[in-house]
Amino acid sequence: MPSASAPRLKIGLIGAGAIMRLSHAPTIRRNPNTELTAVFDVNFENAKAIADEFGGAPYDDLEAMLGKAGVDAVIVATPNRFHEAGVVAAAAHGKHVFCEKPLSIDVAGSRRMVEACEKAGVVLQVGFNQRFWSQVQIAKELIDSGFIGKVHQIRSNYSEKSTAYPASTRYRYDLAQSGGATIIDLTIHRIDLARHLVGDYSAVFAELAHSEMTEKVDDNVWLLTRFGNGARGCLSGNRYSPNIGDGTDIYGTEGTIHIASETINPFNAVPLAVYTEKGVADLPDVLREAHYPDAWWETFKGGWIPVKPPRRSPYDAQLEAFRTSIAEHRPALVTGLDGLRAQEVIQAAYLSLDKGGWVELPLPADAPFKIPTYA
């Protein structure tokens, strides 16, 4: 039921593509404290189709929608190069903003978006939904508590065939519209995840290639990363694998954490697994309760502990986090700065590909931006 202390958060959608239909609109409908009241798309029929199914009034005029009484916040999920215009316009109307990743196609645009929302005093949350998986949240708590010691290494892969996702268009593979293909659509999730778990980046080395797709885009991505705390990382992804490739491993001096979020398979058999040599007395409750000994009278003596937390939608969790931030007048759990930092890694990767070497982070304010071309 809706909260007795606050009215429903009235949300307008900016964009009416597949991610709105598959995720954001049904998520708003499931949340008892949110209501879909308006849908904008440059194609009125697209807006009307979402509105007819999930509620709200359709618009093909963004200013008209933003001027509509009762819209408290917006979700922006247009082709990437239009994110900035939608976010800045919403902020100018005093609307809180949830923006799908990437925040923008370059760092300069991301910075303008963050500044616009700060100036307007509105919440800006970025759609890094993978932070909201239960297994990621448990891993974060274990790392931050020092359970696996000092983290020195992380590796993560996220691969998905370009035809797997039921998108309504292929704008992701028009680099002028998207700003990047695999790196900005898939790898960016792991760029943010690694920063969330390990810390800020200090440098990146990139190998981006076109290997298989019809479109000449980055369908084969490898990033080597350095972190400010001295850790090292390897992040990879592709757009040609017929399976959904997934898996993140964090290596510390006192343990290892494995995370699978998108799917499980023979190599990623559980959503979370933790390796430790610590005894049962030193286990946090979440691990002690997950361990099943070979016999009931035995106790844990070290090794792998598989954990299967309840499978809850990260989209539900991120929407509720957004609503709560607005209601409690506090910053988002995933801020505009988080989106800017992820975009900074992508821009640095492009610079690395161009120069053939490491690029230090953070980037200077005047760092050039140029989308690579691929043979």
Task: Please name each of the domains of the chain with its CATH number.
Answer: 9-130+315-336 (3.40.50.720), 134-312+345-355 (3.30.360.10)
φ, ψ for residue 99, nearest 5 deg: -115, 125
Instruction: Report yes or no: 76 and 98 within 8 Å, Cβ to Cβ.
Output: yes
Over residues 183-193, the mean pLDDT reads: 98
> How large is the angle between the packed helices 107-120 and 83-92, nearest 10 degrees?
10
> pTM value?
0.95
Could you tell me the strand order of the sheet in which 151-159 lies?
303-307, 272-276, 255-259, 245-252, 151-159, 232-238, 220-227, 201-209, 359-360
- How many Cβ atoms from other residues are within 10 Å of residue 209's Cβ? 16
Query: What is the pLDDT, as a whole number, of residue 166?
Result: 81
pLDDT for the residue 3: 47
| 125 vs 43: CA distance, rounded Å | 26
C-alpha 65: how far from chain center: 27
pLDDT digit string, tens, across residues 48-74: 999 999 999 999 999 999 998 789 999
Coil vs helix vs strand at 73: strand
Give residue 97's pLDDT. Answer: 98
355-to-202, 220, 343, 348, 359 alpha-carbon distances in Å: 17, 18, 19, 10, 9
- CA angle 368/372/375 to nearest 5° reads 160
205-241 confidence digits (pLDDT tens): 999 999 999 999 999 999 999 999 999 999 999 999 9
Distance CA 258, CA 245 (A): 14
Mean pLDDT throughout 291-303? 90
**42 three-state secondary structure:** coil
- Indicate if the pLDDT at residue 18 is higher than 90: yes
d(CA 8, CA 4): 10
